[in-house]
Amino acid sequence: MIVSALLTSVGINFAICVLYFTFYSILRKQPSYNHVYIPRLVAEGKTKKGNGDFHLDRLLPSTGWVRRAWQLSEDDLLSSTGLDAVVFMRIFTFSVKVFTVAGVIGICILLPINYFGTQIKASDFADIPNKSLDLFSIANVNDGSRRLWVHFCVVYFITAFVCYLLFIEYKYISSKRIAYFHASKPQPQQFTVLVRGVPVSRLGKFSESIGIFFTEYHPSTYLSHTVINTPSRIQSLIEQPAAFVSFKTRYGAAVASDMRQSDNPTEWVTEQAPEPRDVYWPFFSPSFMQRWISRLVVIVLSIVLTVLFLIPVVFVQGLTNLDKLKTLLPFLKGILNITFVSQVITGYLPSLILTLFLKIVPPIMMLFSSMQGFSSYSEIEKSACSKVLIFTVWNIFFANVLSGSAFNQLDTFLEPKNIPMKLAAVVPAQASFFIAYVVTNGWTSLSSEIFRVVPLLSTSLKNCVGSHDDEAPSLPFHSEIPRILFFGLLGLTYVFLAPLILPFLLAYFCVGYIIYRNQLLDVYEPRYETGGRLWPTVHNSTIFSLLLLQTIAIGMFGLKKLPVASTLIVPLLIFTLLFNEYCRKRFLPIFKSYSTESLVKKDRENQNDPTMPEFLEKLATAYRDPALKPNQESAGNHDHRTPLLSSA
Amino acid sequence: MIVSALLTSVGINFAICVLYFTFYSILRKQPSYNHVYIPRLVAEGKTKKGNGDFHLDRLLPSTGWVRRAWQLSEDDLLSSTGLDAVVFMRIFTFSVKVFTVAGVIGICILLPINYFGTQIKASDFADIPNKSLDLFSIANVNDGSRRLWVHFCVVYFITAFVCYLLFIEYKYISSKRIAYFHASKPQPQQFTVLVRGVPVSRLGKFSESIGIFFTEYHPSTYLSHTVINTPSRIQSLIEQPAAFVSFKTRYGAAVASDMRQSDNPTEWVTEQAPEPRDVYWPFFSPSFMQRWISRLVVIVLSIVLTVLFLIPVVFVQGLTNLDKLKTLLPFLKGILNITFVSQVITGYLPSLILTLFLKIVPPIMMLFSSMQGFSSYSEIEKSACSKVLIFTVWNIFFANVLSGSAFNQLDTFLEPKNIPMKLAAVVPAQASFFIAYVVTNGWTSLSSEIFRVVPLLSTSLKNCVGSHDDEAPSLPFHSEIPRILFFGLLGLTYVFLAPLILPFLLAYFCVGYIIYRNQLLDVYEPRYETGGRLWPTVHNSTIFSLLLLQTIAIGMFGLKKLPVASTLIVPLLIFTLLFNEYCRKRFLPIFKSYSTESLVKKDRENQNDPTMPEFLEKLATAYRDPALKPNQESAGNHDHRTPLLSSA
C-alpha cells in the first residue's frame, strides 16, 4: 500500500466518524430517541418521556456530552456503573499511557531512522504520497546498520515501561477490588455457595440429604439451602440436582467453597455463588463427568470454528494482493485499474469484510461458553471473552500475517526454533494492512458504538408501532474487550517495526475513552458485578503482546544481520516471563477469592447490625429460578427449599 | 549384541545375585552383623546383642527370610512400616501384574512373529547363540506386513490394561489414605500450620503480631504458636521468621492452611505443617521472593547438571559400538578381538559405568531440593524423587537412544512433528543395551540392596573399634523409586518393540518384591509418614511411559509402511491424556489435603476424649528446633513461644 491509499482510507473513515458524531449529538437531544441513546437513564426514570418542549439548539450539533464524559471522576464512575466498568475504562487509560510514550518514541526517533535507511531504495523528500509505506518501517533500515541498536533499545525500554505500568495497574486494581468489598453492603452471593454433585441418597430426597450434610459438617455457620430444579426433560434425565447453600457469615461461606467437602472430590463440589441476578439458570446442574466432557467438546468446537474461519481470512487477503486478483478474475481488470477503486479495495474493503465476519464470532463463543456448565453470565462472558481474544489474535493476526506471505509454509511454521525468523519475515509486510485495519475496524467501531445503528433502526420501527421496553442493555464485554486488547497487541508488536501505526492507535484509544465513558453513563446498565475480575485477562494479553514483540525482535535482528542484538533480547524475554509469574503469585489470588482478613473484618462489621437478621431471612429466597416463580406455590413438588433455619 | 553376549551378561549377574543371596542368608544369622542386616530390629530392641549361642545352621544358607517376606500380609506391613512403605510395595505388585500379562503376550505372541519375519535376513532355527538380538525385535517384521496389526492390537490392549490397573490402584490407595487418616491418633501436624511471610510489625515483635493476627482471625480455633528462630547469620540477615501455629481442631488448622489469610498473597502464607520429626530445620524461613528465586536457581542448576551428565553417557555409548572404539584406540584392537573381553565390554561394562555415575545423582538432587525452601524432609525427598526420575528418563533413556544412533541429529529432533519417526528409528536399536541394563543395573542393585556392601564394610570397621549407633536408616525413596519407575518405563516402551526384555524385567520386579519387603521389616525405619503421597508420582510416570509407547508406535507403524495403524494410534493417545486428566480430578485432591467430611468426623471422635487436653497442651512444645533445645532455657531471647493458650 502506498501513502495516498492510506490517506484515502483515513479520509473516508475520518469523515464517517465526524458524520456519525454530528448526527449523534443531534439525535441524542430528541426525546423520541431516548430509548436508543439514553436507555439507562430511561430505565432509571431519570428522564422525561414524550417529546418535551422544542428548542432550536436541539437541531444543532454540540459537544456537551464530550465535556461531561471527560470531566467525570473515577469515583463517580464507580458509584454509578460499578467496578467492572471502572476496570474496563482502565484498559483505555493504560493504553493511552503506553501509546503516548511509544508514539513519541516511534514517530520522533524510529520513523526518521527508518525513512533515511536505503535498504529498499534511495529515498528523497519528494512525492511522498506515492511512496510505499514500507519506507517508514524497519524494512528500510540497512542490514547490519548500527542504527538498529536504537530499535533494540526501544524494545528494552517499551518492555520495561509496559511492565512497570502493568505492575502499577494490577496493584491499583487489586486495592480497588479489596476496597470495593469492604465498602459493599451484605449481598446474598457473599453468604452463599453453589453445591453440585450431590450424591444420590438412599431415600432419593436430595433436599434432605443436603440439609443433613451441611448441618453435620458446618453446624455453626449453615443457614439454609435452595435446591435448583430445572423442570425440563433434560433435568429429569440427569437425576443429580445442584443447590444454593446459604451461611450465616461470609467467612463460613468462603470456607465451604474453598475446602474440599467430600472424600470423593467429584461429589459435593462447592463454588462461590454468583449474584442472584447473574445466575445462568439453564445451567442444568450437570454432573462432574458431564461438565468435564462438555468442556472438552467446547474446546473441539472452538478449534473447528477457528479452522473454518480461515476461509474468509484467506479471501480477504486476496484483496490486498490486487495482482493476484487480477490474474484470478481477469474480467475485473478494467475496473481494478481505476486508482480510486483499487485504493478502496486495497485500503478499505478487506478490513470491512473481516469486520462483518468477526461480528458473528462473539455470539458463537458465548453459546459455546454457555455449554460449559458455568453457573453465571459473568463467568460465561469472561470465558467467551478469552475465547474471542484467542480467536482474534490467531485469525486476524497470525492468519493474516501467514496468508499474506507464507500461508503455504504453515507446515514449516510449526517448528518452534523457526518461529522468530518466520514472524520477522512476514509481520512487517502486513504493517499497512493493520494500519488500515485500525482505521477501519477501530474507528468505525467507535462511531457505530456511539451511533448505535441497529438499536436506532429497531427503535424507529417501534416508534411507529408505539411499544417500548424500558430495559437498558449491558455492555458486551466479551466482544469489546478482545477488540481493544487486539489493538493493544498490534501497537506493541509494530512499535519498533512500523511506528506509523501508533498515532492512529492513540487516536482510537483517546476517542474510545470518551465514547465508552459516555455510553457507560447513558446506555449500558451493568447486568452483574464481578469486582474487576476481568483485569487478569487484560494483564495476560499484554504480557503475550510483549512476548510476541520480543520474539519478532529476535527474528528481526537475526534477519537484519545483527545477531548480537538478537541474542541480547533473550534475557528480556526471560525477564518478562518471570515478571508475569511474579504478578501471578502476587496479585492473581486476590481476583479468585477474598482473604480471611477481609472476610472476618467484614463479618465483624455486621455482627451488631440490626438489619442482619432480616437480611439472613431473605437469603433463603434470594436464589429462585425466575422461570419457576409463577407456578412455584401451586407445583409444590418443585419447591425443595428448607423453609426453616437450621439450629445454630 | 548377539544372543551369546546377552547370555554372558545374564550369567555373570545371575551368579553374582546367587552369591550375594547366599552370603546374605549366612551373614544375616551372625549376631555381629545385626547392625548391618537388621538395624531396625536392633534399634527397636527386638534382638539380643552379643554373639549368642553357636549352632551349625548359622553357617548354612537358608531361605527362611524369603518365606517370611512372602507371607507377610499388607495389614501387617502397614502396621509395622507405615502407609508410605505399603504404597512403595504397591509399585512392585502393580509392575508384576503389568509385566506378567505383557510378558505372556510378548513372549508367546510377539516374539514368534518377530522371529519369523524376514526383514533382517532369512531366519532358521540353527545357531541361535550367534544371532543378533534384533531378530527378536519388531525390526525383523517385514515392512507393510499384516502381522504388524498384532503389534497394533498389543499397543491398544496394553494401554487399556495399564489404565485399568492404574485406576484400580489410585482408587485403592486413595481409600487406604483416607482409612489411614481415620485410624490415626491425634498427631501434632494435624493440628498445626506453618506460617511464613509474617510482615514486619511496627514494634518488630513477631511473636506478638502472630498471636494478635490469629487471635483476631481464628478466635475460636487458635491455640498457640512457636516462632522458628534459626540462630544463624543467614537468619539474622533475612529479618522475617516463620512460625508453627497450632489450633484446637484439625478442621481449624486445615481451614487456616487452605484459605488465603492476608489481602497480600505474599504475606501470612500458610501451609500444612509437617510431622515434628519430619521438619527440615535449616529451612531458613526465607521470604516469598527468596523462595521463588531459589526455586528458579534450582531449576537452572538441574538443567546444567543434566547437560553435563551427557559426557559420561556419550562415553559409555562408545563402548557398545566396539568398532568405533577400535578406530579411536587402535592399540586395544588385540585385546578387544578376544570374544570374552568384547562380550564383557559390550554387555556388562557400559551399564556398570552408568550405574556408578548415576549413584552420585540422587544426593545432588537432594541438595538441590533442600535449597528450594521446603519445610520437611518428605517434601524435599518427593521433589528430589521427581528430579531424579526426570534426570534418569532423559539421561539414560533419551541420551542413550540419541547418542547411540542419532546424537548429531539432536537439532532436528527438536521439531515436534518428527519426534515419533525419530524415536521409532532409534529406540529399537537400543533394545539390547537396555536388556543388559536391566540385568546389570536392576539385578545388581537388588543384590547390593540386600547385601548392603557399604554398611557391611563400615560395620566391619566399627566392629574392630567397638562403637555402634543404634539408629536404623530410612529407605531412600528418592533414589529407589526413580530406578523402579524407569524399569517400568523401559518395559512399557519395549513391550511391542523387543519383548525379549520382559522376562528379565519380570524377574527384577518379583525378586525386588521379596527383597524390599524383607528390608522394610529388618533394615529401614520410616523417618516420616506422608500417607502415601508418593503415588501420584508413580501414576504420572506410568502415564508418561504409555504416551511414550504410543508416540513410538505412531512412528514405528509409519516406518513399517502401515500408515493406517499409525493414524489409529492417535485416538489412543488422546484417550490416555483424557484418562490422566480424569484421574487428576478424581483422585489427586485426596493426596493434597483431607476433606471437611474426614476432618470434622475425626474432630468429633476426639471431642470427648479425656486425653485431648493433655495432647493440646503438648502441642505448644511439639515443634522445637532440636539444635536449640539444649540452650533454650538459658537463652531466653530465642524462645518466643506463647506459653498461654488464647481465650476460646
State the cell numbers at B527: 523417618
Question: How far does the CA of residue A410 sit from the closest CA of chain B (Å)?
Answer: 13
With contact defined as beta carbons under 8 Å apart, do B244 and B194 qualify? yes
- Return all residues near B194 (Cβ < 8 A) that are at least 6 apart: B242, B243, B244, B245, B270, B271, B272, B273, B274, B375
**Distance of alpha carbon B308 from alpha carbon B306, whole angstroms:** 6
Hey, CA dihedral for A369, A375, A377, A382, is it positive or negative? negative
State the cell numbers at A614: 432480616
Q: 3-class DSSP state for residue B321?
A: coil
The lowest-confidence range among A463-467, A634-638, B231-235 is: A634-638
**Distance of alpha carbon A387 from alpha carbon A306, whole angstroms:** 10
Give me the helices (H) in A106-195, please. Answer: 111-115, 148-183
Inform me whether the C-beta atom of residue B460 falls under 8 Å from chain A C-beta atoms. Answer: no
**Distance of alpha carbon A448 from alpha carbon A511, whole angstroms:** 13
pLDDT at A54: 67
Q: What does residue A341 show for φ and ψ, rounded to 5 degrees?
A: -60, -45
Q: Compute the average pLDDT of residues A435-442.
A: 85
Neighbouring-strand partners of residue B225: B245
Q: Test B265 with A216 for CB contact under 8 angstroms.
A: no
**Distance of alpha carbon B115 from alpha carbon B133, whole angstroms:** 10
Confidence check on the interface: ipTM exceeds 0.90, yes or no = no
Neighbouring-strand partners of residue B272: B193
What is the CB neighbour count within 10 angstroms for residue B163? Answer: 20
For the cut 50, the answer to whether the pLDDT of residue A297 exceeds it is yes
B42-56 pLDDT, tens digit each? 888 877 555 556 677
**Distance of alpha carbon A579 from alpha carbon A164, whole angstroms:** 10
Question: How far does the CA of residue B426 sit from the closest CA of chain A (Å)?
Answer: 21
**Distance of alpha carbon B441 from alpha carbon B354, whole angstroms:** 9
For the cut 50, the answer to whether the pLDDT of residue B645 exceeds it is no
Q: Test A265 with B590 for CB contact under 8 angstroms.
A: yes
What is the CB neighbour count within 10 angstroms for residue A67? Answer: 11
Give the residue among A286, A478, A308, A298 at the shortest CA–CA distance from A382.
A478
Q: Band of the pLDDT at A409, cuts 50, 70, 90?
A: low
With contact defined as beta carbons under 8 Å apart, do A589 and A170 qualify? no
**Would you list the DSSP string of B379-432?**
HHHHHHHHHHHHHHIIIIIIHHHHHHHTGGGHHHHTSGGGHHHHHHHHTGGGHH
For the cut 60, the answer to whether the pLDDT of residue A633 exceeds it is no
Residue among A178, A414, A596 minimizing CB distance to B261: A596
With contact defined as beta carbons under 8 Å apart, do A11 and A343 qualify? no
Interface test mutation site (partner B, options A220, A245, A259, max chain B beta carbons within 10 A): A259
Q: Test A596 with B259 for CB contact under 8 angstroms.
A: yes
Q: What is the pTM of this model?
A: 0.88
**Looking at beta carbons, which residues of chain B come within 8 Å of A258?**
258-259
Q: Band of the pLDDT at B406, cuts 50, 70, 90?
A: very low
Report the Cα A350 to chain-centroid distance in Å.
23
Report the Cα A601 to chain-centroid distance in Å.
33
**Distance of alpha carbon A138 from alpha carbon A496, whole angstroms:** 7
Exposure pattern of A278-315 as b/e (b: 16+ CB <10 Å)?
Answer: bbbeebbbbbbeebbebeeebeeebeebbeebbebbee
Inform me whether the C-beta atom of residue B210 falls under 8 Å from chain A C-beta atoms. Answer: no
Put the strands of the sheet holding A242-247 in their side by side order: A222-228, A242-247, A192-196, A269-272
Inform me whether the C-beta atom of residue A261 falls under 8 Å from chain B C-beta atoms. Answer: yes
Q: Test B265 with A178 for CB contact under 8 angstroms.
A: no
State the cell numbers at B607: 471431642
Burial class, A216, CB count within 10 angstroms (exposed 0-12 / middle 13-18 / buried 19+): middle
For the cut 50, the answer to whether the pLDDT of residue A106 exceeds it is yes
A205-230 pLDDT, tens digit each? 788 899 999 999 999 999 999 988 75
B618-636 pLDDT, tens digit each? 998 898 877 765 443 333 3
Hey, CA dihedral for A595, A597, A600, A602, is it positive or negative? negative
Give the residue among B320, B443, B451, B441 at the shortest CA–CA distance from B26.
B451
Q: What is the dihedral of CA B441, B447, B453, B456, to 10 degrees?
A: 160
**Distance of alpha carbon A256 from alpha carbon B259, whole angstroms:** 10
B80-108 pLDDT, tens digit each? 999 999 999 999 999 999 999 999 999 99
**Looking at beta carbons, which residues of chain B come within 8 Å of A218?**
596
pLDDT at B639: 35
Q: Compute the average pLDDT of residues A161-169.
A: 97
**Distance of alpha carbon B368 from alpha carbon B24, whole angstroms:** 35
**Distance of alpha carbon B202 from alpha carbon A102, whole angstroms:** 42
**Looking at beta carbons, which residues of chain A come within 8 Å of B585?**
265-266, 288, 292
State the cell numbers at A195: 453445591
**Distance of alpha carbon A272 from alpha carbon B244, whole angstroms:** 30
pLDDT at B357: 76
Question: How far does the CA of residue B588 sit from the closest CA of chain A (Å)?
Answer: 9
Q: Compute the average pLDDT of residues B324-350.
A: 73
**Looking at beta carbons, which residues of chain B come within 8 Å of A170?**
none
Residue among A258, A266, A578 minimizing CB distance to B259: A258
A514-563 pLDDT, tens digit each? 999 999 998 999 999 999 999 999 999 999 999 999 999 999 999 999 99
Nearest CA in chain A to B176: A263
pLDDT at A397: 84
**Would you list the DSSP string of B18-63?**
HHHHHHHHHHTT-GGGHHHH-HHHHHTT-S--S-----GGGGS---
**Would you list the DSSP string of B411-423?**
HHHTSGGGHHHHH
Give the residue among B91, B173, B96, B93 at the shortest CA–CA distance from B481.
B91
Separation in Å, CA A497 to CA A138, A427, B8, B102: 5, 9, 66, 58
Give the residue among B247, B83, B39 at the shortest CA–CA distance from B177.
B83
Relative orientation angle of helices B83-105 and B477-494, to the nearest 10 degrees: 20
- Return all residues near A1 (Cβ < 8 A) that are at least 6 apart: A132, A133, A320, A346, A347, A432, A433, A435, A436
Report the Cα A26 to chain-centroid distance in Å.
30
Most confident range (mean pLDDT) of A21-30, A418-427, B452-461, B552-561 is: B552-561
**Distance of alpha carbon B253 from alpha carbon A640, whole angstroms:** 34
Residue among A262, A581, A586 minimizing CB distance to B595: A262
Relative orientation angle of helices B535-559 and B477-494, to the nearest 10 degrees: 30
A553-566 pLDDT, tens digit each? 999 999 999 999 99
With contact defined as beta carbons under 8 Å apart, do B497 and B553 qualify? no
Residue among B292, B416, B578 minimizing CB distance to A414: B416
Nearest CA in chain A to B602: A217
For the cut 50, the answer to whether the pLDDT of residue A641 exceeds it is no
Q: Which residue has the higher pLDDT, B42 or A49?
A: B42
For the cut 80, the answer to whether the pLDDT of residue A410 exceeds it is no
**Distance of alpha carbon A556 from alpha carbon A573, whole angstroms:** 15
State the cell numbers at A3: 501513502
Per DSSP bridges, beta strands B242-247 and B192-196 are antiparallel
Q: 3-class DSSP state for residue A321?
A: coil
Opening angle at CA A24, ends A18 and A26, nearest 5: 110
Give the residue among A216, A273, A279 at the shortest CA–CA distance from A250.
A273
The lowest-confidence range among A110-124, A344-358, B68-82, B205-219 is: A344-358
What is the CB neighbour count within 10 angstroms for residue B598? Answer: 21
**Distance of alpha carbon A326 from alpha carbon A319, whole angstroms:** 10
Q: Test B263 with A593 for CB contact under 8 angstroms.
A: no
Q: Test A416 with B416 for CB contact under 8 angstroms.
A: yes
**Distance of alpha carbon B191 from alpha carbon B622, whole angstroms:** 11
Question: How far does the CA of residue A216 sit from the closest CA of chain B (Å)?
Answer: 9
pLDDT at B388: 93
**Looking at beta carbons, which residues of chain B come within 8 Å of A262?**
595-597
